[in-house]
Structure 1
C-alpha cells in the first residue's frame, strides 16, 4: 500500500492532541483529493509501512474530531472517517474523501489544491478556471438537457454496444448479466427516460449527435515534402460514434501500412513508419480527453518526417508534457471507462507506457508533447535513430521476456549510449532512486545494463559483453569518457579559445557528453588552481590560470625562436 494518486498516509504522531495537530495540513490534503479523483488518508500508518503496529489502538473520539475540524476548514469537501483494524490487529483511521464532480473544493482561507501523484499541489489563480472547466466536463457526460428519449437510440449502435460489453474480457460477469437497460444505466448512457450526452454520443441517432456541444470531428491531412496538401479525409457527418471513428482512422488511412525493412543478420525486419498501436492509442486519447465543452476538431497531420495529433483543449489540470508518462487524470471519466472496458485503449496511466515501449523498441525517439493556448499537440517522428537498437531490444525481449518498463529503460539507455540516474528521472518523471530501480527492473540482474557511480551521478549503459554477443554495431561516442580524458579535452579547448563560457566548451568537445560532467571537471580544475572563473551568472567565462597561460606563452615563444 503505497502513497499515490488516491492514497496518503500519516503516522499516528500526527494526532498529537486537538491543540497541536496540524489540521490545516489535513484540510489541504482533503481538498486536493476532492478536486481530483477522491481518495483515502490513512492515519496511523507510517509512510514506509503497509500496516499499523500490531499493538496500536486509537480512541474513537478522533473520528468526530476529524470530521469537525475538516468541515470547519474546507468547503465543498465531504469526508467519512472510520476506525479500521488491519490484518495484524493494529488499528488505524481511514478518512474517505469523496470526489467533488460538480464544484471546486477549497479551504476557508481561500486556497485551492489538487492531488498530483503523491503530492497535494496548489492550484494557481490562472489554473482555477481550468479546474472549473474540467468539472463542467464531468457534468457534461451525465446531462440530459437535450431531452432525447432513450427510445430514439440508434438501433444498430445500441445493439452493437451491448454485444461489445458482453463480449469484452475486461467487463465483469456481474455487469454482463445485467439487463440491457441496467447496462445502459451502469455506463450512464441513460438517466430516467432520456439519453445522457454520453449516451447520445455513443448510441444516439445522427441528428441528435450533430446537435451536441461538441461532438468530435476528425480531419486527416497528408502533406508532401514541401508541406503541400496531397490528401484529406474528414469524418464530420456525425454518423459514427467514438468507437467507429477510431476504427475508421485505423482502416481508412492507407499510410499506416507503410514500413521500412532493416537488416537483421540473414533476415530483414519490417518496422512500420507509424505503428498502428501508437496511432490507435493517440487518437483514442484525443477522443477520451477532448474537452466536449470546447469547439475544435481533432487533426491528424501526416508529414514526410512526422505525425502530429492535435486535440482541442488543454491537458487536464495536474498533467503536464513532462509528467504525461507517469500521471493520468480523466477529464471524461465515464467515456474513458467505456473505451477501456471495450478494449479500445489501455488502462488509465498505461497508454503512454505502451507508446514509449513501442517507439523505443523500434529505435525511434519518444513522442513530443506540446501544450498551446487552446490545444495539445503530440508529435511522433518517423525516423529510426539507430537500426541496431531494434535488433538489440528484440533479441533481449525474446531471450528474457522483458516487462514493459524494462523495454522502455533499455531502449532509452541504448539510444543515448548511457544515461545518468538524474537524466532517467527527468525523462521518466521519476521522483526518487527507488523509482529508477523499479523502471530498470531486472536489467542489471540479467546482465543487460551495467552502472557506475553513486546516487544521482550513477550512470547506466548497455553491458558491452552482451553487445559483443549480439555483434552489435553501435556508434562510438564520448558519453562514457573517462574523467582524466575529459579533463585533457577541457584544457586543450581553453588553450585555444579562452576565455569561454561552458556552453561553448561543451559544444566543442562533444554534445553527447553530459554538461553536468563537463561542469564537474571544470570545478575540479578551479579547485586545484588550473582554471579560473571570470564573471557571474550568464556572463561566466573560464580561462586557464595566469601561471599556466604564461608557461604556454613561453613554450610557444621558444618554438618560434627555434
Structure 2
C-alpha cells in the first residue's frame, strides 16, 4: 500500500500530522495511519491506547474550529487509524493557517483558496458577496433581456428577480459581472501561426459585461474558423470548428469559472484546434468523471448560470460536455477535456484534422473507427500484431489523445 491524497503514513507522532488534519477537514475525508513507514511497512506504535489520547489532545489544542475525527487501534499490529471528516465550519486552521493536500503532501493554501474556504464555511457563493463598485449600469444586459425575453423595462424588480442584490440591498458580484463596467478579469484570446512564437492576433476583453465578452469571443471564431462556400447559386457556411460546441465551451467557461481568481479565461487559437482554459478547476462537490460524463451539474455561480439559461446561451444544466461531444460525433478527432485543481481545459479540434500517427498506430485507429469498444486482445487479433506491441502502441495513442480507456482490469476496453 502506498500513500496517496487521502491516505498518509506516520511512523512516529510529531505535530506535522496536524497539517494533514487541517487539509482533510477543509477539502475532503482522509486517513492518517500511525505506526506505518513511508514505504507502507509496519513499524508499530508503543502503547497505542495512550498515544490515542495524546493525538486527540493535540488536535483539540491546535486545530480551530474543532474538526470531526475518530480513531481505531489495531492491537495485532499496534497501529492507529485516524479518520478525519470534511467539516462544515471551514476554514480549519492549524497555527492560523489552512492546509490542503497536494498529492501526498499537505501544503498551505493561498489567499484565494482561503477566501473560498471562508465563503464555503459561511454557505455563500463569491457571486453573492457585495460588489466593490455600487454604481452600475446595465445597458448590455437590458438589450439582451429585451431581445431574448421581450422584457419591456429592466427595472429594480427585474434585477432583484435575477438575484443581483444582497440582503442589505447592495449590488452583488454577479450584478457587477453583468454590468457594463466592472473590475474583473475577463477573456484573453490569442491566434497563433506556425508556432506559439508567431502571434497573428491578440484581443483581451475585461472589465466589461460578461455578455459582451461572450459576443466578442464568438465573433473571433466567425472571423477565423468559418468561411462561405459557393456551389453554383447556393452559398453555404462552413464551420472548421462547430460553432455550437465553441459557444457551449465559452458559456460554460464564463458560468463555471472561479471569479475570485485574478486571471483571465484563456482562448488559444491554432490552425488545427482551439484551447479554452478556465480558472478555478471543478467545484468540490463533483468529481472529474462526473463532470466529463455529464452525470451531475453543480453550479459554482448559480446566479450567472440561471441568467445564461434564461438567455438560451446554455441548455439544461449538466449537458454542456455531451452537447460538445455530439457536435463531433462524425469527426475522427474528438474534443479533449482536462481537469486539474486550478484549471479546466477544453480542446476543440478542427473538423478535418488528422491524427499524426505511425502506420501501425493507424491500423489500431482504423479498427476502433468502426465503432464500439474493443479490448487489447481483440485489437491484437484484428490487426495481426502481438499483444505486447498492441499494448505499447495503445499507450502511445493514449498520450496523443487519440484513444480513450473505458473500465479497468480485465474489463478494460478502448475507443477513439
CA distance 1:156–1:383, shift in 2 (3 Å): closer
Aligned pair partner of 1:298 in 255, 261, 265: 265
> Which residue pairs with 1:248 in the alignment?
216
User: Which of 146, 152, 171 pairs up with 2:132?
Assistant: 146
For residue 157 of structure 1, what is the aligned residue in structure 2?
A: 140
Question: 1:201: which partner in 2?
Answer: 177
1: CA distance between counterparts of 2:404 and 2:337? 23
Question: CA, structure 1 residues 259+365, in 2 after alignment: closer, same or farther (shift >3 Å)?
Answer: farther
Does the alignment pair 1:337 with 2:298?
Answer: no
SS in structure 2 of the partner of residue 194 of structure 1? coil
Distance 1:249 1:509 in 2: 36
Query: Which residue is 2:85 aligned to?
Result: 111
- 5+ unaligned residues in a row in structure 1: which ranges? 1-34, 36-103, 115-123, 168-175, 387-411, 424-456, 458-477, 494-501, 521-562
Displacement of 1:351 after TM fit? 0.9
State the 1:125 CA deviation. 5.5
Q: Partners of 2:209 and 2:229 in 1: how far apart?
A: 33
The aligned counterpart of 1:232 is 202
Normalised TM-score (structure 1): 0.43
Superposition pairs of residues 507-522 of structure 1, within 5 angstroms? none
C-alpha change, 1:350 and 1:131, in structure 2 (3 Å) is farther
Counterpart CA distance in 2 for 1:335 and 1:329 is 13
Q: Which of the pair has the greater relative contact order for Cα pairs under 8 Å at 6+ separation?
A: 2
Write the mapping of 1:33-72 to structure 2, written as runs, cut at 5 A. Answer: none
* 2:25 corresponding residue in structure 1: none
Give the deviation of 1:350 after TM superposition. 0.7
Q: Distance in 1 between matches of 2:69 and 2:395?
A: 55
Q: Is this contact kept in 1: 2:128–2:172, CA < 8 A? A: yes
Cα distance in 2, alignment partners of residues 220 and 314 from structure 1:
20
Partners of 1:291 and 1:514 in 2: CA distance = 28
Distance 2:248 2:319 in 1: 10
Structure 2 residue corresponding to 1:183, chosen from 146, 151, 158: 158
Q: Which of the two has higher C-alpha Rg? A: 1
- Structure 2 distance, partners of 1:200, 1:159, is 14
CA contact (8 A) 1:364 1:382 kept: no
Mapped pair 1:219 → 2:188: yes
Aligned counterparts of 2:237 and 2:381: Cα–Cα separation in 1: 34
TM-score, structure 2 normalization:
0.56
Give the corresponding residue for 1:316: 283
Indicate which of 338, 342, 365 corresponds to 1:370: 338
Once residues 105 and 178 of structure 1 are traced to their aligned partners in structure 2, the CA distance between those partners, rounded to angstroms, is 51
- Per the alignment, residue 326 of structure 2 pairs with 357
TM superposition shift of 1:359: 1.4
C-alpha distance 373-258 of structure 1, shift in aligned 2 (>3 A): farther
* Distance (whole Å) between structure 1 residues aligned to residue 259 and residue 165 of structure 2: 18
The answer to whether the 8 Å contact 2:145/2:311 transfers is no
Give the conservation status (yes or no) of the 8 Å contact 2:245–2:324. Answer: yes
Map of 1:119 onto structure 2: none
CA distance in 2 between partners of 1:198 and 1:315 (Å) = 19
2:247 to 268, 280, 283: 280
Point out where structure 2 has 5 or more consecutive residues left out of the alignment. Answer: 1-27, 29-64, 71-83, 89-98, 355-364, 398-402, 411-416
1:418 aligns to what SS in structure 2? coil
Q: How does 1:438-517 map to 2 (within 5 A)?
A: 479=379, 489=384, 502-504=387-389, 506=391
From 239, 250, 257, the counterpart of 2:226? 257
| Equivalenced residues, count | 290
Query: 1:163 deviation in Å?
Result: 2.1
1-side partners of 2:324 and 2:394: how far apart?
A: 34
Rounded Cα–Cα distance in structure 1 between residues aligned with 2:404 and 2:225: 37
Q: Write out per-residue CA displacement over residues 4-39 of structure 1, whole angstroms, 9 at most, x where no aligned residue.
A: xxxxxxxxxxxxxxxxxxxxxxxxxxxxxxx9xxxx
Answer 1 or 2: which has greater helix percent: 1
